């Protein structure tokens, strides 16, 4: 009789990935800081083209939107309600949320409303905040960084527009960093501030104070768009799309 057939080849080995730092993971793939930036930019552009083709007949935004916001709810329930509405609208527009990966406060609110409405999420959180901000691990992309600086960098590099909603000093830091980069012409991504019940009015006064006293050009106030409702925020994104 003919010899029996050879046994099938063994299955490929299983790889188990644990949470590692975003910088270490990316450097191991592409080798350098410059390559990381170029590869991420290339991936973002390809994703944008793909989403545009996929949704060209549906009049959807299909953008990656970075939302900077607080890990608390704040004293006015209007902040939470606006965040819930923003999350739903972003999901309806087939936008991917890029955010700080927390599951508490307004951060958790926007992610939960994106997720419950079928939206895609990328969360980025530093190691030392995994417990404090209750890292939301059940999302499409969950990245752990070594520090806050890396967190902001990864979030910024993976978005096409930025929305600022009420938050604390961390949100202020994030806003002023992307605003500074825009002032230095390092990017031209839309920066939209959702000014719920006048929450950000004191910040606008501070910026005007800087301009009036000669420490900033008048053009600084034109580098961001102020809206008062989630619907206006979506409209501002569509104008810039």
Mean pLDDT for 172-179 is: 97
58 pLDDT above the threshold of 70:
no
Q: Which residue has the higher pLDDT, 126 or 89?
A: 89
Mean pLDDT for 78-100 is: 96
Locus of tokens 């552009």: 45
Using alpha carbons, select from 120, 106, 122 the residue that is nearest to residue 61. Answer: 120
Asked if residue 93 lies in contact with residue 62, where contact means CB atoms within 8 angstroms, the answer is yes
Q: Tokens for 132?
A: 């404090």
Give the model confidence (pLDDT) of 94-105 as tens digits: 999 999 988 899
pLDDT at 61: 65
Alpha helices in the chain (DSSP H): 22-30, 33-54, 77-92, 105-116, 148-157, 169-183, 201-212, 230-240
Model confidence band, residue 132 (pLDDT cutoffs 50, 70, 90): confident
Model confidence band, residue 1 (pLDDT cutoffs 50, 70, 90): low
Mean pLDDT for 55-75 is: 81
User: What does the alpha-carbon distance between residue 102 and residue 126 come to, in Å, rounded to a whole number?
Assistant: 10
List, in sequence order, every residue forming a beta bridge with 181; answer none if it has no partner: none
- Please tell me the number of Cα atoms within 13 Å of 66 on its side-chain side: 22
Neighbour-count burial of 151, counting CB atoms closer than 10 A to its CB (0-12 exposed, 13-18 middle, 19+ buried): buried
72 pLDDT above the threshold of 80:
yes
Q: Tokens for 58?
A: 């549906």
CA angle 66, 72, 74 (to 5 degrees): 105
Give the model confidence (pLDDT) of 184-221 as tens digits: 999 999 999 999 999 999 999 999 999 999 999 999 99
Give the model confidence (pLDDT) of 103-127 as tens digits: 899 999 999 999 999 999 999 988 8
Using alpha carbons, select from 170, 177, 212 the residue that is nearest to residue 191. Answer: 177
Task: Look up the pTM and report it.
Answer: 0.76
Asked if residue 47 lies in contact with residue 64, where contact means CB atoms within 8 angstroms, the answer is yes
């Amino acid at each position: 009789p003919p010899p029996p057939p050879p046994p099938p080849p063994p299955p490929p080995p299983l790889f188990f990935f644990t949470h590692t730092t975003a910088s270490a993971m990316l450097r191991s793939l592409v080798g350098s800081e410059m390559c990381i930036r170029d590869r991420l930019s290339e991936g973002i552009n390809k994703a944008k083209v793909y989403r545009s083709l996929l949704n060209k007949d549906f009049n959807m935004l299909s953008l990656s939107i970075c939302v900077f916001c607080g890990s608390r709810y704040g004293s006015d329930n209007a902040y939470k309600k606006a965040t819930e509405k923003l999350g739903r609208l972003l999901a309806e527009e087939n936008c991917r949320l890029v955010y700080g990966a927390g599951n508490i406060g307004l951060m958790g609110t926007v992610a939960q409303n994106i997720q419950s409405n079928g939206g895609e999420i990328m969360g980025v959180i530093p190691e030392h905040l995994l417990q404090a901000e209750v890292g939301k691990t059940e999302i499409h992309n969950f990245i752990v960084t070594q520090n806050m600086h890396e967190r902001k960098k990864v979030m910024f590099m993976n978005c096409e527009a930025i929305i600022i909603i009420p938050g604390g000093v961390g949100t202020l830091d994030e806003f002023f960093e992307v605003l500074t980069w825009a002032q230095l012409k390092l990017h031209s991504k839309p920066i939209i501030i959702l000014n719920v019940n006048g929450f950000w009015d004191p910040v606008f006064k501070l910026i005007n104070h800087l301009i009036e006293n000669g420490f900033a050009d008048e053009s600084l106030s034109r580098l961001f768009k102020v809206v008062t409702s989630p619907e206006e925020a979506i409209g501002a994104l569509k104008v810039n799309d």
